[in-house]
């Protein structure tokens, strides 16, 4: 197999990055477009349960392995009045949603969300509104959601039919407050103060809540790094994580740069870690701030991606209009796999991550109102990473061929990581070949892993002769993973061939 087009690395249990926090396999449900209505919630659908939740969608969410779900936004949360989303459905008010110029019916609210995450075996991540509201409303929501009983707000929850507390442990202190598009946008000083005040009050109710401060909306923001530094100077001892958001899409004629998007993801993570640790050093704190990458995905913000439907977005102030329904290609799926690799490679500091979003809106799951649900191409890398990426991440430092990209300069053709199961010792290699035209040979030396007499359990490949192939309602299984060929494990060395432009999962036992 040895050739000039070969990438190599060594795996050794003595060189580990970190155990994986399973919450990096999270997702995101926002009141945006059809994510909620005709996505997770559609009373009257043939598959709907007694609560109006689509069981066909919930089956796919369970199969996907989603561990945490962020809610209710996103930009939506900065105009959200949590009180509108509780109590009898027919008494809940209809409101204008300024973020997405839609009308919100509030027929799906806090109780329905908690019911959903419990049924799919996930945990909630709740965002509080620090755009148009503040400290008082945040702690009132916390009391309503989490206090057992015996106070006005906890008793109100019980009266609404939820006897047991929701037990929400993970909270976002607002959303993208650095963004001028955000309702209630603030300067770093303004946000840092209100984040600290809110965190302090929430910890007075429960010292053990886990809190996420808003970081920059993306690495390209003019205030990037200064924003994180200022916010953390106010809140360092009061929060646990700082957030990161990043979206990528292919610009015409530059697929090589798109396939290397994770270069930006990894630099973003490393730059935020450096900024947070600098603040910690200045404050002489032994505490480490971790990262919550709670929005990430491929999103064609220029509108160039095919959409799931040609019905269009509808008029302003419509209820649950079709918005941001990107139909993903094989190429998009390979990039999503690479972004998952980037998160795993930084498991020492990235403890929470949420692919945005879960259903219909830039999502791995798509639905037809009254009709079927199906897996988009990007579903498969996430589901496989969540299933096999539990354990300890091993340090992977590839050596091999590179190529030049317009956006990121010289990049490795191989992007890879590996995770070792802490109980069985089994190892899974996740690998992307960024070369659009040529297969890439892979050789992995397995030092001290006890796999000299091991075997290749599976080599799963997501690729296609048509890199623009997509799954649709009419052809939901056009793109699925297939078995790789010729993969061997002999004398402690794994050898495989990675197809051009491919996502690969190689399982060793």
User: H/E element holding 281?
Assistant: helix 261-282
Q: How far is 382 from 337, CA to CA, in rounded Å? A: 7
Residue 453 has a pLDDT of 77
58-86 burial by CB neighbour count: b if 16+ within 10 A, else e? Answer: bebbeebbbbbbbbbbbbbbbbbebbbbb
**pLDDT at position 400, please?**
97
Residue 78 gets which letter from DSSP?
Answer: G
166 with 145: CB under 8 angstroms?
Answer: yes
Closest-CA residue to 326 (of 243, 248, 435, 385): 248
- Reading the block at residue 457, the tokens are 């359990």
Q: Residue 96: helix, strand or coil by DSSP? A: strand
Q: In whole angstroms, what is the distance from residue 132 CA to residue 120 CA?
A: 32
Fill in the DSSP letter of residue 56.
Answer: H
| CB distance 92 to 47 below 8 Å | no
Look at residues 248, 448, 272, 257 and name the one whose alpha carbon lies nearest to residue 350: 272
pLDDT at site 312: 66
Smallest CA-to-CA distance from 300 within 320, 328, 321, 322 is with: 328
Whether 391 and 421 have beta carbons less than 8 Å apart is answered as: yes
Among all chains, which residue has been given the structure tokens 């997770």?
40
0.85 exceeded by pTM:
yes
Side-chain-side CA neighbours of 196 within 13 Å: the count stands at: 14
Active site includes 210?
Answer: no
Q: How far is CA 198 from the centre of its chain?
A: 25
46 class by beta-carbon count within 10 Å (0-12 exposed, 13-18 middle, 19+ buried) = exposed
List where CATH 3.20.20.80 sits in the chain: 21-388
- CB-based contacts of 136, cutoff 8 Å, min separation 6: none
Rounded to whole angstroms, the Cα distance separating 482 from 479 reads 9
Active site residue 295: yes
Residue ranges of the chain that CATH labels 2.60.40.1180:
6-13+394-508
Cα–Cα–Cα angle for 506, 507, 508, nearest 5°? 120
DSSP 133-162: --HHHHHHHHHHHH--SSSHHHHHHHHTT-
* pLDDT attached to residue 451: 85
Nearest C-alpha neighbor of 357 from the set 301, 316, 298: 298
Tokens for 423, please give them.
Answer: 């109980």
Cα–Cα distance for residue pair 338/259, rounded to 1 Å: 8
Q: Is 187 helix (H, G, I), strand (E, B) or coil?
A: coil
Q: Rounded CA gap, 500 and 433, in Å?
A: 6
Give the architecture-level CATH label for domain 21-388: Alpha-Beta Barrel (3.20)
Nearest to 182 by CA among 326, 78, 62: 78
CATH fold of 6-13+394-508, please? Immunoglobulin-like (2.60.40)
Please list, in sequence order, all residues whose beta carbon lies within 8 angstroms of the beta carbon of residue 163, skipping any fewer than 6 positions away.
none
Count CB-CB contacts under 10 A for residue 152: 9
Q: Please list the rounded mean pLDDT of every run of 10 residues in the chain (509 residues).
A: 80 97 98 98 98 98 98 98 98 97 98 98 98 98 98 98 98 98 98 98 98 98 98 98 98 96 98 98 97 98 90 83 97 99 98 98 98 98 98 98 98 98 96 98 94 90 98 98 96 96 98
Q: Report the chain's terminal Cα–Cα distance, integer Å.
A: 22
User: CA 356 to CA 361: how far, in whole Å?
Assistant: 8
- What contacts 102, CB < 8 A, 6 or more positions away? 31, 32, 33, 96, 317, 318, 319, 320, 321, 323
State the Cα–Cα distance between residues 439 and 433, nearest whole angstrom.
Answer: 8
Q: Which of 42, 266, 295, 499 is catalytic?
A: 295
Residue 497 tokens, joined: 């061939």
Catalytic-role residue among 42, 137, 176, 325: 176
The CA R_g of the chain, rounded to the nearest whole Å, is 23
Sequence-ordered list of residues with C-beta below 8 angstroms from that of 343, at least 6 positions apart, any chain = 24, 265, 293, 296, 350, 353
């Amino acid at each position: 197999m040895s050739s000039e087009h070969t990438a190599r690395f060594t795996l050794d249990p003595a060189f580990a990055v970190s155990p994986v926090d399973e919450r990096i396999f999270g997702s995101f449900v926002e009141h945006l477009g059809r994510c909620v209505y005709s996505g997770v919630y559609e009373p009257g659908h043939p598959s709907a349960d007694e609560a109006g939740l689509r069981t066909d969608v919930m089956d796919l969410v369970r199969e996907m392995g989603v561990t945490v779900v962020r809610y209710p936004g996103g930009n939506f949360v900065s105009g959200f009045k949590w009180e509108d989303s509780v109590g009898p459905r027919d008494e809940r008010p209809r409101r204008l949603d300024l973020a997405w110029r839609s009308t919100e019916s509030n027929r799906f609210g806090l109780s329905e969300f908690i019911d959903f995450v419990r049924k799919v075996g996930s945990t909630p991540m709740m965002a509080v509104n620090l755009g148009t509201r503040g400290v008082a409303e945040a702690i009132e929501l916390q009391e309503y959601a989490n206090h057992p009983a015996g106070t006005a707000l906890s008793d109100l929850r019980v009266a609404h039919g939820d006897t047991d507390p929701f037990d929400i442990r993970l909270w976002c202190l607002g959303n993208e407050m650095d963004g001028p598009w955000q309702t209630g946008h603030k300067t770093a000083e303004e946000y840092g103060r209100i984040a600290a005040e809110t965190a302090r009050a929430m910890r007075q109710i429960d010292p053990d809540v886990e809190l996420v401060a808003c970081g920059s909306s993306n690495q390209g923001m003019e205030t990037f790094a200064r924003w994180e530094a200022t916010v953390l100077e106010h809140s360092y001892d009061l929060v646990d994580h700082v957030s990161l958001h990043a979206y990528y899409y292919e610009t015409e004629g530059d697929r090589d740069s798109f396939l290397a998007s994770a270069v930006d993801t990894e630099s973003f993570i490393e730059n935020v870690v450096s900024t947070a640790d600098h603040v910690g050093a200045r404050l002489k704190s032994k505490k480490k701030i971790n990262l919550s990458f709670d929005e990430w995905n491929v999103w064609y913000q220029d509108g160039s991606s095919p959409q799931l439907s040609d019905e269009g977005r509808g008029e302003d102030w419509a209820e649950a209009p079709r918005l941001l329904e990107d139909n993903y290609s094989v190429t998009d799926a390979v990039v999503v796999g690479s972004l998952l690799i980037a998160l795993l490679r930084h498991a020492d500091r990235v403890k929470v991550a949420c692919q945005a979003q879960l259903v219909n809106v830039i999502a791995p799951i798509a639905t037809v109102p009254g009709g079927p649900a199906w897996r988009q191409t990007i579903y498969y890398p996430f589901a496989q990473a969540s299933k096999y990426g539990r354990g300890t991440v091993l340090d992977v430092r590839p050596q091999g061929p590179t190529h030049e990209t317009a956006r990121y300069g010289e990049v490795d053709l191989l992007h890879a990581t590996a995770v070792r199961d802490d109980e069985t010792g089994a190892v899974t290699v996740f690998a992307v070949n960024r070369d659009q035209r040529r297969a890439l040979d892979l050789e992995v030396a397995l030092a001290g892993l006890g796999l000299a007499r091991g075997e290749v359990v599976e080599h799963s490949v997501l690729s296609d002769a048509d890199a623009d192939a997509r799954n649709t309602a009419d052809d939901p299984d056009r793109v699925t993973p297939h078995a790789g060929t010729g993969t061997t494990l002999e004398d402690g060395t794994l050898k495989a061939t990675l197809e051009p432009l491919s996502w690969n999962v190689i399982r060793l036992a």
